[in-house]
Amino acid sequence: MKSSRSGDTVSRETQLPPPTQTRTIVVANQKGGVGKTTTAVNIAAALARGGLEVLVMDLDPQGNASTALGVDHHSGIAGTYEVLLQHQSIASVQQQSPESETLSVVPATIDLAAAEIELVPQVAREQRLKKALAAHLREHPVDYIIFDCPPSLGLLTINALVAASEILIPIQCEYYALEGVTQLMRTIQLVREELNPELDLSTILLTMFDARTKLSAQVGEQVRQHFPEQTLVTLIPRSVRLSEAPSYGTTILGYDPQSVGAKAYVKAAGEIARRGAEEPVRSARRGWPQ
């Protein structure tokens, strides 16, 4: 398999182990500026370049994940909105990303901004995405589905939490790193109790790490104390290259694959893939702070 951007062939050394069943992962944090979309698209691209079939569902009306993965998402392009509110199939709206032959995207357009309001009167409004995914996977199985959510805890994010089995929370290594995470944990717990008991906080990823400061190390230690099993070993460094990549309609792997940011996301994706292959069934209660 080759990426149409970099031309790099996936070798045996970079092949990642497939999960025993489809892993559905929500990348969520309602606090802005934590590297949520950057994490979603780069983990997805790294998994795909590791030989796995990946589908990204962009649930953020801003469409930043769609932009970074190089797919059209201007007004009039069918995507997540049509899946949620017009009963269109995922297969009919997904696009292949130029990042990889095995990476597809359901784009988000500005129409999705109205979905939060339009979903309110709908029957089983929290289940819309779950039902669409179940129908899709019966005909189009993939290894990973990754949801990029808006920085809020509205109905779009709730739909993703109901449809998924895992949550990945990116936490930046800065002051107030855990700000908002408490509220997110409460929301997740409510979803588990009322709508999706299988939902598991499986992964914490430390982002914007600056090795020059004591603060980054202190924040990392604090997060690991709260989430010892979930926090990945890999740290994502603060990097200008990571910020630049989306403006070119690509991920850091396509923009500068030899950068420290690209190498870090490849390592993080490897950790995630190996954890999934080694632990296909995770405890539904593990790691939840009391």
Answer yes or no: is pLDDT of 2 > 80.
no
Q: What is the pLDDT of residue 126?
A: 93
Answer yes or no: is pLDDT of 51 > 50.
yes
Name, in order, each residue with C-beta under 8 angstroms of 86's C-beta and a sequence gap of 6 or more: none
| More confident position, 179 or 144 | 144
Answer yes or no: is pLDDT of 228 > 90.
yes
Task: Name all domains of the chain by residue range, CATH numbers in brackets.
Answer: 17-275 (3.40.50.300)
**pLDDT classification of 175: cutoffs 50, 70, 90:** confident
| More confident position, 164 or 283 | 164
Name, in order, each residue with C-beta under 8 angstroms of 245's C-beta and a sequence gap of 6 or more: 68, 251, 252, 254, 255, 256
Answer yes or no: is pLDDT of 13 > 70.
no
Q: What is the pLDDT of residue 42?
A: 97
Give the mean pLDDT of the chain.
Answer: 87
**pLDDT classification of 67: cutoffs 50, 70, 90:** very high
Q: Look at strands 23-27 and 103-106 and give their pairing.
A: unpaired
Please tell me the pTM assigned to this model.
0.89
95 three-class SS: strand
User: Which alpha helices (DSSP H) does the chain contain, by range?
Assistant: 36-49, 64-68, 80-85, 90-93, 115-119, 128-139, 155-163, 181-194, 214-226, 240-244, 252-255, 260-278
Answer yes or no: is pLDDT of 173 > 60.
yes
| More confident position, 283 or 195 | 195
Q: What is the pLDDT of residue 279?
A: 63
Answer yes or no: is pLDDT of 111 > 80.
yes
**pLDDT classification of 11: cutoffs 50, 70, 90:** very low
